[in-house]
Amino acid sequence: MISGRWPRRACRRASSSSSTEGRGRDRASGEPTCLRTGPPRAAVPGRSARSQSGNEHLRSSRGGPFGIGPTGAAGLLWRQGELALAEAAAAAGIPFTLATPSMTSMETVAAVGGRQWYQLYLWEEVRHSYELIARARDLDFEALVVTIDHGLGHLREHNVRNGYQFPFRPNVVAFRDMARHPRWLYDVILRAGLTTGLPANVNYPEGYRRIVALDTGTAPTPPMKISMTWGDLERIRTMWPRKLVVKGVMNLGDARRAAAHGADGVVLSNHGGRAMDSSRAPLDVLREVAPELGGSVTVMVDGGVRRGSDVLKALALGADFVLLGRATLYGLAAAGRSGVDKAIEILGDQFEKTMSYVGCCRPTELGRHVLAE
């Protein structure tokens, strides 16, 4: 169960100053952020639970209707965490999305094989972003995922309480927490420092690369482009020869504009509820977008996916695909590569069983008729 034992095990192993990056919290209260505006919608049992022996989508949890979305701090949860995520995704036959601020090089991840996607933030110095696009293109990444909802940064009081800053700067709260997690401190910081090097934003341009753990350097973080326009997306479309996805869309109008400017897919996402805690829930936006754009572009959704039944609900509401975030990060923080394998297996098994209980043999049979609304 991704929403129960695994998060607790992950938090026991990893320090709060690192695992806080994988948890969503309400900024004022510190309580978990609800990514849905209403109660979870229960699936309605079908007339009979059908055998999934002929299910070509999720046999052995391979090639299911979900993939691993971009999570920038995986390298702080486990040594070379992005590599573990990529290997597990390749083994399961699902996509893995490497984030711009990742701590494993694009070349290392590309060498794993499988279905590799690359997530892009557009910086003010756009030439540096264009260089990343060219690298991803030359490394044969399958898709480019352009995030459009993070130019202003974020306000996360729980990060401050836990002593977490990005890039990290030494402080009493964080050091006290690290001392309570000696295994994490040894594996991620000390052992890495003696072998592969301390976690750093290795894909950043030369002048902006810096160690993100125990770093007192002066290299700045590349400033985000806060004035991103649809013209920027058109420019990226001319540079990128394969599938182009726009992530962070939260209304039907923007979804239509993204498609009109060359996007092959959109991800309905509120950044995990971590940038603006009062934003709409992606599932509610999905109700508006899927009936209008379904079939013309690939409609994806992320946020709050902890169980296979959550994947089913998204597909039943019209999504073509679902991206995972914290679910696989919990597995990573708890047990590394084997933990990610287990998280994917659990989600796939839950999805398959739930689909059977609502009387469907394959994802294409899902629809609102299986939901209690």
Strands (E), 213-284: 243-249, 265-268
How many whole angstroms separate alpha carbon 290 and alpha carbon 225? 29
Task: For the chain, report the end-to-end CA distance as a whole number of angstroms.
Answer: 24
How many whole angstroms separate alpha carbon 225 and alpha carbon 145? 16
Q: Which of 128, 181, 271, 369 is catalytic?
A: 271
> Is residue 150 annotated as a catalytic residue, yes or no?
no
What's the distance, CA 255 to chain centroid? 19
- Sorted by sequence, the CB contacts under 8 Å of residue 278 that are 6+ apart come out as none
Rounded to the nearest 5 percent, the helix, strand and coil shares of the chain are 45, 10, 45
Q: Are 132 and 158 in contact (CB under 8 A)?
A: no
Q: Are 199 and 15 in contact (CB under 8 A)?
A: no
Helix 81-92, helix 326-357: angle, nearest 10? 20
Cis omega (within 30 of 0) for bond into 167: yes
Q: Are 290 and 318 in contact (CB under 8 A)?
A: yes
The DSSP secondary-structure symbol of 200 reads B
Residues noted as catalytic? 271
